[in-house]
Amino acid sequence: MINNKTKYTELIKSEAKRLGFMSCGISKAGFLEEEAPRFENWLNKNQHGKMGYMENNFDKRLNPTLLVEDAKSVISLLLNYYPSEFQNQDTFKISKYAYGDDYHFVIKDKLKLLFQTIKDTIGDVHGRIFVDSAPVLDKAWAAKSGLGWIGKNSNLITQKIGSFYFIAELILDLDLEYDFPVTDHCGTCTACIDSCPTEAIIAPYHVDGSKCISYFTIELKESIPLTMKGKFEDWAFGCDICQDVCPWNKFSKSHNEDLFKTKPEILSFSKNDWTEITEDVFNNIFKNSALKRTKFDGFKRNLEFLK
């Protein structure tokens, strides 16, 4: 006879797949003992740069039971964003995750449907949805849930699908069957470390966020330091270098999510088109895009820095 934990776990994973998530893993909610000293050390060395929000809610980042009362399970989900069409090589580069609509809304809608199905089927279940918008160490939970390993570039990597996917969580006060971590398959490869133009990967599995191109072009709100001039390799929003060179991303397959379909302008815009874009045009084209994170002024600052 199948017990409830097995039945509920199978229901959640089946529904996640139906909603388009490429993977679903589950781990027991609790304090992230191994991650705590690493995270504290990273903060103490100011490797989060000006991302002051990373210092907030330290305890909650490490313990989901402080986010959801009586939390029992952390459900981690992966959603593919690897595109079928790419920018040409002679333009300002946009990180692939921003080619389509803003992932926050796309994933949140899917998670709401998943959570509603859980409540409709199982009953009185409490929990919260998290999509890169609250103090949750999503890569740590995804690795703990067996969805991949955290690579030398600090991204979650999976043998069959690489690393071009979003990570989200559903934390519930429901006991489920738990998955186990997988082994690390980075081996002796140092492609990501060798390829980072700003030397942000200061050691295997250790990224200084304050040196990352994504940090400078998205998170940093003030002027980009002149010491970085000439090192961005035309990246105007985010950076995919450490993923593009990762051998495991040879196995990436194009997503089938309509809302992530590449905006035509990202494919067709030349450097001149990007440079001449007006605020009205920017806001109109990218109103549903992650690109609006920088706002028009921030994006123009990035383009000026690349000149």
The residues annotated with a catalytic role in the active site are: 132
Axis-axis angle for helices 4-18, 103-122 (nearest 10): 150
Residue in the block written with tokens 């990224």: 207
* Strand 73-80 versus strand 23-28 pairing type: antiparallel
Residue 80 belongs to what H/E stretch? strand 73-80
Tokens at residue 250, please?
């040879």
* Spatial separation of the C-alpha atoms in residues 181 and 234, rounded to whole Å: 37
Q: Would residue 259 be called left, alpha or beta, if left means φ above 0 and alpha means ψ between -120 and 50 degrees?
A: alpha
Residue 8 belongs to what H/E stretch? helix 4-18
Coil, strand or helix at 148: coil
Coil, strand or helix at 120: helix
Q: Would residue 148 be called left, alpha or beta, if left means φ above 0 and alpha means ψ between -120 and 50 degrees?
A: left
Asked if residues 296 and 303 have their Cβ atoms less than 8 Å apart, the reply is no
Q: What is the CB-side half-sphere exposure of residue 73 using CA atoms within 13 A?
A: 22
Tokens at residue 226, please?
């002149």
Amino acid at position 40, single letter: E
